[in-house]
Structure 1
Amino acid sequence: MPLIALGLNHSTAPVGLRELVAFDAEGGSAATRALAAQPGVREAAVLSTCNRTELYCNVEAGHEAGIAAWLAAHHGLGEQALQAYLYRHQDEAAVRHLFRVATGLDSLVLGEPQILGQVKQAWQAARGSGSLDSGLDRLFQHAFAVAKRVRTDTRIGAHPVSVAFAAVRLTQQVFAELDTATVLLVGAGDTIELAARHLAEHDTQRLLFANRTLAHAQALASRFGGFALPLAELTRHLPEADIVFSATASREPVIGIQAVRDALRERRHRPMLFMDLAVPRDVEPEVGRLDDVYLYTVDDLDHVVEEGRRSRREAAEEAEAIIELQVEHFMAWWRASDQHEVLKTLRQQAEAQRDTLLERAMAALAAGRPAQQVVEQLANALTNKLLHAPSSALRHAALRGDLDLVRSAQRLFDLESPLGRDADDTGHSP
């Protein structure tokens, strides 16, 4: 049964379309159950983030096309409207794709770690909805192991690739204990949000968010457990800050040298660190000349970011090699599991034939027929039932000259009589 990975992401679809096909956290489990209930779908999982929506399915052959149709219908879209933006991977390619997603190789920011947690959430939701069996469940768990190995064996996550990440990393070097520091974040754009996320991951206990639009500051404060204040109150709260991150769209500096002097005086000259991530700059350059002040700008971080990108690209090549090896390992298991299904079906058929004949034998005994006669008939009937299909196949194989099948049957059934030799000599099966 084919493994299918179908979806769209930041590289194939615009944000407007990604928003239309996204699944929220509450509706994800219900959607997974609905997908698993589609004809021919044996297993299903839905991965949905701000940058991607992907469906992973184990389907019966011939039902692959129904996955895209379901995605479009579920969101009230025409299937044709999605076709140009979708990618489809099957079997080995689907396995490789999930491994690359889980390790961050398919992310907008190469090697970013958040995606692994999102993949785990998708797996847990699918498990909770009862839409996973051994196939997809094993695939996702293998993906987690691959991601862990890539993190352990390569340096893909060792270097910053964004200004915000680089700034937080540098902040750690100046303030070793971020969890005891008070951090003031000025602005509410992507850079400040990303910096807040990294600070929260380091358990920074006190975050202050200042923005010209208070509602935006309140939104960030709510998300990361901080306190919001209007930009007009920045100067009053500046003395509280050990560290200041600033990234506004202002054309003029929002933090002047006199405000910093006053803050240092109130702090009794305890050091302050300023990370000015704005262009044009938010902090007056003269601030950097004050004692007890450390001031860094985007220019100070650019070379760190570029070194990080280069390092991650090199690490990505190592990660790809690990992934290729693990794809082979998983596919070997997957093919073996297909054989288990064949054996399971063979046993089920044999047991069904046995039960049918046993029921007839019990009925014959109940009708008073001699037990020895009933047992002999049962043994003969069961032998004929079990051997009919393989005997017929071997007879036709010999007539066609298909000696490979004949010899395979000899090995399969551990036959002492050389069927292949008889067929070679006579042209007929025994």
Structure 2
Amino acid sequence: MQITMIGIDHSKASIAYRELFSFTKAGAMEAMKYMKEKFELSGCVLLSTCNRTELWISSGEKAHIPPYEMLCEVKKINRKQYGEFFVEREGKEAVDHLLRLTCGLNSKIFGEDQIISQVREALALSRKCGCEDMVLEKVFQTAIAAAKKVKSTVRLTAVDQSIAYKGVQLLKEELGGLKGVRCLIIGNGQMGKLIANALTSHGADVTMTLRKRMHGQEEQGSIVPEHCSMLPYEERHSALEESKVVISATLSPHFTLKKEEVQSVLSEEKKRVWMDLAVPRDIDPTLNHTFGISIYDIDTMGQTACDSENDLQVKEALNILNQYAECVARWFAFRKQVPQVKRITALAAEDTKCRIGEPIETLVLDQKDGKELTKAIEAAAEKSVGKLLYGLRDTLSPDLWQTCMNALEDAAKKDTLKTGSRKDRYEGKRK
């Protein structure tokens, strides 16, 4: 398999290192376009989430520099500094990793559901900037389909362990309850809305920030979840003193809460729980343990180990993933037959053209229409024969592929229609 990935994640690197290699959506698209052109890649996908950054590449030949060095060049980071935090995988190992990852088996919060959307979005971004290819498309689409199958048939967790759920549970443990607790959420993206809905369902008093202008439009209260009040983003500091809980989850590359700004608005020393659910981080970490603040980030909210309750479910999930992995392996293996498939379909199209030439000439068509009809029939013949040949990938044992293809090509090459003139053949057929 001509596929390679390099990744940094929570299993080997703290958030301080992961955030160095994180990307916004716009940044990921810019980076993919740069790498595809600069390093002459067939395709590439960048997956950047709170817990990981992964670069996936495919090429006809092995890339002339390691993918880790590609990332470092894009980020303008010294490649000698952080290599120990990365893992590189190729071929089957890479595919198996993506299958496990997409259904939540490799997530910090075991079995979480968001990763499916994140993988799908990474592929969509690659398509949008013209950086996907057939190989990556096949691998990522298979991983998404496998994850859906696992999620619909296997219960990987005894309870819902999404980040929102874990956040609420942590707050309940810290504060003893959430009813009436004033909470400020900075950021009204997907993560912000998830945590806001979770908090309001437990009776918390939630305020969410909203920028005055979003994508050129005036602020819209409709995008703030029900039962939440709205506060302009620029006024976020005014709500800090009265908020026992502050949660920041934005895509900003800079701190949303800086130490010098926060210290100027906080006065009373009291128990405060702040959560930073962003990568790179939103909250200045030096604020921890000042003014009674306890800061939790994404690294303190989850676990990767499977507990005994999930052992049986994990085995069932892995059985499903193995089936999808086998499908990918067959797809890659069959790619060696593709040139021969193309030769056979071309021969079939030529044969069809010979067979329909005389009948088309008898039709009342001008020269242009006749050529277009002939081309359409040739294309249909290629597709029809191609469908049958590619179907052998899933219906025939791999050790018979080559024998079958050779026999079909030999049969397609037989000159069965080239004895006598085309007119004689046609007239003979009519008789």
TM-score, normalization: structure 2? 0.53
Partners of 2:307 and 2:136 in 1: CA distance: 33
Residues 227 and 310 of structure 1: CA distance in aligned 2, closer, same or farther (over 3 Å): farther
2:167, 2:39 → 1: CA distance?
A: 51
The corresponding residue for 1:208 is 205
Distance in 2, Cα, partners of 1:122 & 1:66: 21
Partner of 2:329 in structure 1?
Answer: 331
Q: CA deviation digits over 1:237-268, x for unaligned, max 9? A: xxxxxxxxxxxxx99789xxxxxxxxxxxxxx
Which segment is superposed worse, 133-142 or 116-125? 133-142
Give 2:98's aligned residue.
98
Q: Give the aligned length.
A: 282
Q: Which residue of 2 aligns with 1:129?
A: 129
Q: Secondary structure at the match of 2:127?
A: helix
Q: How has the CA–CA distance of structure 1 residues 27 and 340 changed in structure 2, closer, same or farther, with 3 Å as cutoff?
A: same
**Matches of 2:202 and 2:44, distance apart in 1:** 40
Matches of 2:167 and 2:86, distance apart in 1: 36
Q: Residues 201, 60 of structure 1: CA spacing in aligned structure 2 closer, same or farther, 3 A cutoff?
A: farther
User: Equivalent residue for 2:5?
Assistant: 5
Distance 1:81 1:325, change over 3 A: same
Partner of 1:146: 146
In structure 2, the CA distance between the partners of 1:195 and 1:35, relative to structure 1 (3 Å rule), is: closer
Per-residue CA distance 1:293-341 (angstroms, 9 max, x = gap): xxxxxxxxxxxx9xx9543454223212211221111111122134214
Given that 1:159 and 1:309 are in contact with CA atoms closer than 8 Å, whether structure 2 keeps it comes out as no
Change in 2 beyond 3 A, CA 1:251/1:154: farther
Q: Deviations over 1:9-67 (max 9, x none)?
A: 11122222211111111111121112222434111111011211101111223326432
Q: Does the 8 A contact of 2:41 with 2:59 survive in 1?
A: yes
Q: What letter is aligned with 1:117?
A: S
* AA matched with 1:17: Y
**CA shift at 1:111, angstroms?**
0.6
Structure 1 residues 203 and 132: alpha-carbon distance in aligned structure 2, compared to 1, 3 A threshold: farther
**How far 1:83 moved relative to its partner?**
2.1
Relative contact order (alpha carbons < 8 A, sep ≥ 6): 1 or 2 greater? 2
Q: 1:253 to 1:83 in 2, by over 3 A?
A: closer
Letter matched to residue 206 of structure 2: F
Alignment-derived partner of residue 37 in structure 2:
37
State the match for 1:26 in structure 2.
26
Counterpart Cα distance in 2 of 1:92 and 1:49: 23
In the alignment, the residues of structure 2 paired with residue 63 and residue 253 of structure 1 have an alpha-carbon distance, to the nearest angstrom, of 53
Aligned-partner Cα distance in 2 for 1:62–1:410: 33
Question: How big is the shift at 1:233?
Answer: 5.8
Unaligned runs of 5+ in 1: 170-181, 211-216, 236-249, 255-281, 283-304, 349-404, 416-430
What SS is found at the alignment partner of 1:46?
strand
Counterpart in 2 of 1:311? 309
Cα deviation, residue 2, structure 1: 1.0
The verdict on how the C-alpha distance between 1:148 and 1:12 changes in structure 2, with shifts beyond 3 A counting, is same
TM-score normalised to structure 1 length:
0.53
**Bigger radius of gyration among the two:** 1
2:73 matched to which residue of 1?
A: 73
Change (3 A) 1:111 1:347: same
What residue number does 1:360 align with? none
Q: Distance in 2 between matches of 1:163 and 1:53?
A: 18
CA distance in 2, matches of 1:142, 1:344: 24
CA RMSD of aligned residues (A): 4.9
* In 2, Cα distance between equivalents of 1:194 and 1:129: 25
Deviations along 1:83-142, one digit per CA (max 9) or x if unpaired, are 212111111111111111111111111111111111111111011111112221122111
What is the one-letter code of the residue matched to 2:205? L
Q: Sequence identity of aligned pairs in percent?
A: 22
1:324 corresponds to which letter in structure 2? N
Partner of 1:384: none
Q: Deviations over 1:271-291 (max 9, x none)?
A: xxxxxxxxxxx9xxxxxxxxx
Q: Which runs of 5+ in 2 are unaligned?
A: 170-178, 212-220, 232-237, 245-267, 273-291, 293-302, 347-401, 413-431
Matches within 5 A, 1:51-200: 51-63=51-63, 65-157=65-157, 159-161=159-161, 165=165, 184-186=181-183, 197-198=194-195, 200=197
Question: Aligned with 1:81: secondary structure?
Answer: coil
Q: Which has the higher helix share?
A: 1
Distance 1:152 1:45, change over 3 A: same
Higher alpha-carbon deviation: 160-169 or 60-69? 160-169
Aligned partners of 2:126 and 2:132 also within 8 Å = yes
Q: Distance in 2 between matches of 1:166 and 1:40?
A: 43
> Distance between the aligned counterparts of 1:159 and 1:166, measured in 2?
10
Deviation at 1:158, TM superposition (A): 5.3
